[in-house]
Structure formats: C-alpha cells, structure tokens
C-alpha cells in the first residue's frame, strides 16, 4: 500500500485552515467552553496520579509541541497540585533526554509539595517558592535557564492583566527561538462580566489582554493560530505564543 502520510498531513493542514471561517464550529466550541469553565471541567482530571487542572485538549497539544521542540527546560509559573509539573516531566522522560522542569509558585503547600517529591517523575523536577515577579526569584530562574539550550515557558499563576504582562516581560525572553511561551487561562476573556466574584481577574483584566499588550511591545512572538484552530476547546486560545 502506498505511504500516504504526507497526503494525510496536507489534508489536515487544509482542514485546520478552514476552521477560521467556520463560525458555526467556533461558536459551538465557545459555548461549550463557557459552560464547562463555569462547571470547573478542568478540575476533573489526573496525570499519573496527581490533579492536573488542565483541559485534556491542551495537554495533547502540549505533548505535540514538546515532541517537536524537544526542550531541555520547561519553566512553569503556578504549581497548584503539581499535576502539570509531572506531565511535563513525563513528556521529557519519553523523549529520553536529560530535560528538566522548573516550577515556581508563591505558595507551595506542603501536602502538594510532598506528593510531587514522592512521585517517580520528581527526579526531573525542581521547585522555587516565591512570587514570579520577585527579583530574587527571577534571578534564580535566569541562572537555571542559562544552563540550558532549548527553553519553553508556561504561565499559569495569577491571571490579572498586570501580573501576566509582567511575567511575559520577565520570562518570555528566556524562550529559545522555535519554542513557545504558553499563556494559560486566556479563557477568562470569554466569560461574562463579573463572572469571577472572588478573584482579582475578570473580563478586560485577563491573560488575554496581557498577551495583546505584550505582542504590541515585543515582535519576537506570534500567536500560533493553527494550534487554536486545532484545539477549539482550550483554556489558552490565543495564548500559544511561538518565538520566531
């Protein structure tokens, strides 16, 4: 049988390009996003035994990106319960490289820290407790980053415009050419006004608005629109930033 792999990939690319003009599909996806975000859909999943608090669709695309980019350091702002750290570490384990994962959080709760450190993937994980915007935290991250060649950054901590924009200014420059800075929870901008009653972020004050501001400042990155068309269901639409 003829090898049709290239033809398959070409058809996929054409299909993804058609998504931008498919308003019915996009509207349906966004309606689902709004409802499932309201119902805490992303809290329903584990990765290798730890809560991952991400959409499965985002994890699958992150796997694709990690396989393609082959980073030797993945930096994540926001640790929560540790599942994302373990996910990234397991992807690097599958690559068979010496890749490392660095997690930063202003408050690493002891029970979450213990579960990460007790996990088989902990051999690839390092954690720093402190604000990502603190000068000492930034210095320590830069010192670690300078020991690596191919770096990917994921921002998933405080979701206010100011905080995310400052994180982008500090950490996006660490991303290597051909890699990604992924800004999670741009989904905040899809939610109705005053949806977040007990949070400092909201529509108009979100990761999505921070991304737009940063892209006006920095021309090194562009939104990977093909990723958005592929995902449709994502907490990070418009947040997959590719470094040229």
Which H, E and C letters describe 202-226, residue by residue? ECCECHHHHHHHHHHHCCCEEECHH
Task: Decide if pLDDT at 1 tops 90.
Answer: no
3-state secondary structure of 73: strand
Look at the pTM and tell me if it is higher than 0.85. yes
Mean residue pLDDT across the chain: 96
What residues form DSSP beta bridges with 221?
243
pLDDT of residue 85: 98
* Structure confidence at residue 118 (pLDDT): 97
The Cβ of residue 189 has, within 10 Å, a number of other Cβ atoms equal to 19
Placement of tokens 């996003």 in the chain: 33
SS3 125: strand
* Local confidence band at 102 (pLDDT 50, 70, 90 cut-offs): very high
Contacts of 119 (CB under 8 A, 6+ apart): 48, 49, 50, 82, 86, 125
Q: pLDDT tens digit string along 37-94?
A: 889 999 999 999 999 999 999 999 999 999 999 999 999 999 999 999 999 999 999 9
Domain definitions of the chain by residue range: 5-243
Question: Cα dist. 186→97, 105, 228 in Å?
Answer: 31, 19, 12
pLDDT for the residue 195: 87
> d(Cα 15, Cα 10) in Å, to the nearest integer?
9
Q: How confident is the model at residue 164 (pLDDT cuts 50, 70, 90)?
A: very high
- In whole angstroms, what is the distance from residue 95 CA to residue 219 CA? 31
Q: What is the CATH number of domain 5-243?
A: 3.40.50.150
The residue count of the chain comes to 244
Per-residue model confidence as pLDDT tens digits over 227-242: 999 999 999 999 999 9
The three-state secondary structure class of 92 is: helix
- Please tell me the distance from the alpha carbon of residue 26 to that of residue 20, in angstroms, as a whole number: 8
Per-residue pLDDT of 184-232, as tens digits, reads 999 999 998 888 988 999 999 999 999 999 999 999 999 999 999 999 9
């Amino acid at each position: 049988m003829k090898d049709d792999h290239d033809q398959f990939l070409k058809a996929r690319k054409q299909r993804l390009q058609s998504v931008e003009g498919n308003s019915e599909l996009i509207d349906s996806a966004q309606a689902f996003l709004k409802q499932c975000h309201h119902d805490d859909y992303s809290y329903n999943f584990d990765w290798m035994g730890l809560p991952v608090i991400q959409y499965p669709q985002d994890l699958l695309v992150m796997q694709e990106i990690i396989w393609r980019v082959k980073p030797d350091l993945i930096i994540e702002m926001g640790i929560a319960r540790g599942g994302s750290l373990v996910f990234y570490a397991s992807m690097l384990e599958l690559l068979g490289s010496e890749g490392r994962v660095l997690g930063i959080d202003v408050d690493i709760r002891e029970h979450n820290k213990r579960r990460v450190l007790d996990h088989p993937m902990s051999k690839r994980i390092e954690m720093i407790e402190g604000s990502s915007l603190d000068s000492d935290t930034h210095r320590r991250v830069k010192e670690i980053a300078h020991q690596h060649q191919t770096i990917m950054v994921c921002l998933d901590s405080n979701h206010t415009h100011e905080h995310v924009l400052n994180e982008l200014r500090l950490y996006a420059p660490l991303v290597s050419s051909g890699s990604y800075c992924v800004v999670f929870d741009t989904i905040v901008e899809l939610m109705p006004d005053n949806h977040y009653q007990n949070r400092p972020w909201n529509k108009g004050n979100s990761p999505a608005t921070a991304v737009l501001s940063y892209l006006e400042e920095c021309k090194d990155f562009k939104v990977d629109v093909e990723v958005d068309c592929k995902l449709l269901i994502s907490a990070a639409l418009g947040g997959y930033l590719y470094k040229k």
